[in-house]
Amino acid sequence: MPESMPPGWARILRRTRLRVNAAAWLSEFLPGMFLLLIAGAVVLIALRAARLPLAPFAPAIVLAAAALVVVSWRRARGAFWSDADARLRLESAQSLRSRLSAAAEGIAAWPQPPADAARRDDRFRWRLAPALVRPALGVLLLAAAALFPVRERETRPAPPTAQVPAWSEVEEWVETMAETGTPDPEALERFREELDELLARPPEERFSHASLEAADNLRDRVEQSIGAFAGQLANADRALSESLPNPAPPSPAALDAAAAALQEAVEGLRAGSLPLSGPLSERLAALANQGALRTIDPSQLSQLQSELRRGVQGAQACLSPLAGEGDGTSQQQPGPGQGGIQRGPGEAPLALGQAAPPLDSDMLAPLEPGKTDQAALGDT
């Protein structure tokens, strides 16, 4: 039966084994610690720049450190020494010639343990200085990240959420013309599709040069289309009015001229970028001859004119939203006036002193003797 190991040898073997195993673990832990410190410095700088507190991230830091300890232990476990490895090491260092192994097997007695058995082996000396260079550098980086001043990160303004004015105008114009029922719905839908393409752009690109230029181009085209559409509607309405009795029935020549004007207006409405709706265009085309204008019921003609005028009024509401505002009486009065109803527009006087009396009088008066100072050039 093997003799029990003396406490002295057990203490020496345990100390040797722990030193070797600790060195194996540190060889795996210190490089990982260096990488963890670098990552911590980067995160700390980011948190300081964003003005975020560190406390909410403390659990994550603790978990990362614990994970590093466990991973380093698992990686170094294959290099850990057992008691047998420590005995062989001591036998070689102390020149014991396998006496410890023989005693552990019960073949021989345990030798007397020396007090400095582990200390006399120079190959067990710690060489921590080279291994601690990178962790020390990581600590310095972390300290620099915590102490050096960091500029506050500039917050970029949020992209504008307002709508481009031209988009609002086009959207309002299309809705207004659709309510009149006179334009072709497909043409209005094409304008809506172009507007939807502009609205689908990211908010940060809405007020870019290209976006504003595209919006202005669309608005100009819609404005020109509505203006041309209103002009042709007015021509058609005028041609229908000329075919009505006023008060006498129109002559055949007048009916021919009205029919020709109506036909020209219908062709213009069909060829424009904003054509007339199909049913209304067919009704106008059916009247574009003398016989149809002569036989049409005046009530039907008046109804047709009201539809045309509704389209003209819708176009005027789009292109001249202030048309019809005010009484308009001041523009019909003579003189500068004082402003207000029936008193002229009321322009501001440009003279600093009293206004001179008008001299363009046609009245002739004799010049009294002794008052030559009142004579004008040529009166004498």
Asked if residue 149 has a cis previous peptide bond (ω within 30° of 0), the answer is no
- At 348 the pLDDT is 58
Q: Over 80: is that where the pLDDT of 333 sits?
A: no
Verdict on whether the full-model pTM lies above 0.75: no
CA angle 246, 251, 255 (to 5 degrees): 90
- At 124 the pLDDT is 66
- At 350 the pLDDT is 57
Give the DSSP H or E segment for 49: helix 7-49
Q: Where are the beta strands (DSSP E) in the chain?
A: none
| 15-44 pLDDT, tens digit each | 888 888 888 898 899 989 999 999 988 988
Contacts of residue 193, Cβ cutoff 8 Å, sequence gap at least 6: none
| 92-118 pLDDT, tens digit each | 766 677 767 777 776 777 777 666 644
What is the distance between the alpha carbons of residues 315 and 196, in angstroms, rounded to a whole number? 22
- At 189 the pLDDT is 92
Q: Where are the beta strands (DSSP E) in 102-252?
A: none
* pLDDT, mean of residues 300-322: 85
Nearest to 289 by CA among 263, 254, 253: 263
